[in-house]
Amino acid sequence: MFEYFYHEILRKTIISFGTLFNNITIQKKDASDTDFSVMKIPLAYGPTQKFLARLEQSGDLNKSTGISLPRMSFEFTGLTYDSSRKVTTTQKIAVKDPDTKKKVNKVFTPVPYNMQFELSIMSKLNDDALQIVEQILPYFQPAFNLSVELVETLKEKRDIPIILENITMQDDYEGDYATRRVLLYTLRFTAKTYLFGPVTRVEPIKQATLSYYTDNSEKRDLAYRVTPRAVKDYDDSVVTNLSEDILSSATTITVDDNSGITADTYFEIDGESIYIKKVGSDNKITIDRARDNTVAKDHVKGSALKSITQADNDLIELGDDFGFDGNTFF
């Protein structure tokens, strides 16, 4: 417990939320009701009071360097546990490592949390604010799903519902004509996200040993050891090819060259696993068909015989229904 990990889930959710409102524009019209300018609304992260304070400090309304309106800001305001989405805490998620393809990444099921956001729309003209609000509301009924990759090592993508909770409008204009008016619309949202714990990386079991003790007149210890082996070729190691077509019932086959083949080994032909029982003369070999739950089928001349070796054992992937090479010893 309390080992270091950081998936940046909260940060990713905040950025994804802000991206939703990062491309809103308004149009201003002249007296003849024709468009004469299009303005993209600036969006910044921070508390609303920060921008309102900057407006009050601008002073002279005729200065072109003052903070401009309309503009938007958003802020992450809180985090609460969502018990309605709770699942079994002891269950784990296992995903094949996207980089090595051999190891497995495991993590406990995520914990549901609700993130609260506030989106503020500041404007001096009511029509500008209404244009912005009307471009946002139709997408929330009341939720909008946002796809976020929460854990990069797991390639875990989830749809995060962004729920619009309520909208308030505030107009605190008081004072003389030199006072800047600010219309403030506040939209409050809830994002239903998930927080993941640390990810552990494990490898497939390479060897298992079972020991047991017999309590009788002839006391002795017995151990059974099993070692997983690959049931298919991973490194595309072609040793030879079939020199003639074979049927699914054939147990003796002829290859182009059997000098690189030895007895008591495994090969793969077009997805079928075979066991080499005997290497004969004239490039003939005697085989046992359809090993490791594969299906015997016809193969055509030129089909490749790929060797299944220790190198393939080292490349066993998650989900490989590998066979077991068992040895019993006393």
Question: The CATH number of the domain where 156 resides is what?
Answer: 3.30.2000.40
- The pLDDT assigned to 105 comes to 79
- Domain membership of residue 3 (yes or no) is no
User: Same structural domain for residues 143 and 239?
Assistant: no
More confident position, 274 or 215: 274
Per-residue pLDDT, 9: 93
- Among 4-8, 60-64, 215-219, the range with the most confident prediction by mean pLDDT is 4-8
**Proportion of the chain above pLDDT 90, given as a percent:** 32
Residues 244 and 317 in one domain: yes
**pLDDT value at 223 more than 60:** yes
Tell me: do 14 and 129 sit in the same domain. yes
E runs forming strands in the chain: 25-29, 35-40, 43-45, 71-81, 92-96, 104-108, 111-123, 143-151, 156-171, 183-195, 200-202, 208-214, 220-229, 238-241, 252-254, 266-269, 272-279, 284-291, 304-308, 323-329
Answer yes or no: do 154 and 215 share one domain.
Answer: no
Distance CA(125)–CA(132), nearest Å, equals 11
| Higher-pLDDT residue of 156, 139 | 139
Residue 207: the pLDDT is 65
Q: How many CB atoms lie within 10 A of CB 289?
A: 19
Task: Compute the average pLDDT of residues 181-199.
Answer: 91
Q: Are residues 170 and 284 in the same domain?
A: no
If asked whether residues 157 and 274 sit together in one domain, one would say no
Structure tokens, 196: 């993941």
pLDDT for 56 equals 64
Report yes or no on 245 lying in a domain. Answer: yes
Same domain membership, residue 282 and residue 251: yes
Question: Is position 106 within any domain?
Answer: yes
For residues 232 and 116, membership in a common domain is answered with no
Residues 148 and 254 in one domain: no
Residue 52 lies in a domain: yes
Q: Are residues 230 and 170 in the same domain?
A: no
Helix (H) or strand (E) holding 263: none
In terms of domains, do 153 and 237 share one? no
Res. 321: pLDDT tops 50: no
**Which domain, by its residues, includes 282?**
208-329
Please tell me whether residues 164 and 24 are part of one structural domain.
yes
Question: Domain tally for the chain?
Answer: 2
